[in-house]
Amino acid sequence: MTIVAAADGSALGNPGPAGWAWYVDENCWRAGGWPHGTNNMGELMAVLDLFVSTAHMPDEPLHILCDSQYVINSVTKWMPGWKRKGWKKSDGKPVLNLELLKEIDAALVGRKYTFEWVKGHAGHDLNEAADDRARAAATAYQAKREPNAGPGFPGAGTDNAKNPSETPVAAPAPATVPAPAQAALIDEAEQLDLFSALEDEPDPAYSTGANDALKILVALERELMDPNVRADAAKVAMLLHKDFAEVGASGRIWSREETITALGGEEPGRATLEVLTLDQVDAETALLTYRSTEPRGSVLRSSLWRRDNGRWQIRFHQGTPEA
């Protein structure tokens, strides 16, 4: 099941008291920070801790909502080139926030992940929740008190991932910034100079275009075609909107509850998905049309996806057997 989480950072003064947070829902989030740090350090640490906190679920893809293009570009575009150059930028200057980036690079090994850029402070529920918690952590350090670290990710632990009472995989961030990171405590204006020139070749697997941001929907649609997911009512329920409806090949209209029950009673079978179109209808709605091929033949399908409270779910589906 794809884990959808927002990651964000905050710094009061930049540099100054700093915080970070990632957020899945009210029962699954974490936050931390430092007495002195930058916004970019917070953004990077939120992503790093999300990977570490989900390390006990290596087969579950991560879809990370992030309002920092610095973080997205660092992870998806620039790191391979930096590593080839001995962790130096194309102008020969040292890479900023080196220790955090090296830890992220190590945490990515063997993981499936995608990034989606979201506009910060624009009412996106998951992003706002992460931002609130990151800012609260920074405010706590400003007041010289420990921040609320949050419940963490269920099952994350140092020695026994099945025992959530154990110490979390990623312990709360230390009260002092390591020496290598201290050298990177420069003002945000200098950090943003990274965007004055692109680092090495762009990665074609990522861009901030609308269609690329919607590719998560293809992954979610494929999940719904997975027999193991279809047999799990809880997982299906997470993918179907509360007002979901489907028009079947016979013309029958299926409700959400009827669909969940029917999928759970199916005989296991595999199907492939060929994307035909993927279009954004409005800011929170997208239409995916595709051809599914299965033992009984091919079917032309359309799914209308709706994003509510930061989570994509299918609002309407229709399938027609192909002649």
- Estimate to the nearest angstrom the gap between the alpha carbon of 21 and the chain centroid: 13
Asked whether 73 and 197 are in contact (CB, 8 A), the reply is no
- Residue 22 CB-half CA count within 13 A: 27
CA distance 220 to 317: 14
Q: Which of 49, 116, 128, 131 is catalytic?
A: 131
Give, to the nearest 10 degrees, the angle between helix 39-53 and helix 125-142.
110
Annotated active-site residue 8? The verdict is yes
226 is catalytic: no
From CA 84, how far away is CA 108, in angstroms rounded? 17
Please classify residue 166 by burial: count the beta carbons closer than 10 Å to its beta carbon, then call 0-12 exposed, 13-18 middle and 19+ buried.
middle
**Residue 121 bears catalytic tag:** yes
Q: Which of 9, 19, 42, 310 is catalytic?
A: 9
Provide the β-strand partners of residue 293. 272, 298
- Catalytically annotated residue among 32, 42, 67, 223: 67
Measure the CA–CA gap between 289 and 40, rounded to whole angstroms.
38
**How far apart are the C-alpha atoms of 3 and 235, rounded to whole Å?**
12
Q: Does 9 participate in catalysis according to the annotation?
A: yes
Paired residues of 300 in beta bridges: 291, 320
Catalytic residue among 32, 43, 63, 152: 43
Nearest to 134 by CA among 68, 200, 86: 68
Q: Which of 121, 265, 267, 274 is catalytic?
A: 121
Residues 6+ apart with CB under 8 A from 232: 264
Nearest CA-CA partner of 43 in 190, 203, 189, 188: 188
3-state secondary structure of 188: helix
Q: Which of 8, 221, 223, 246 is catalytic?
A: 8
Token pair recorded at residue 137: 């952590």
Cα separations in angstroms, 9 against 40, 105, 226: 7, 19, 35
Q: Which residues are annotated as catalytic?
A: 8-9, 43, 67, 121, 131
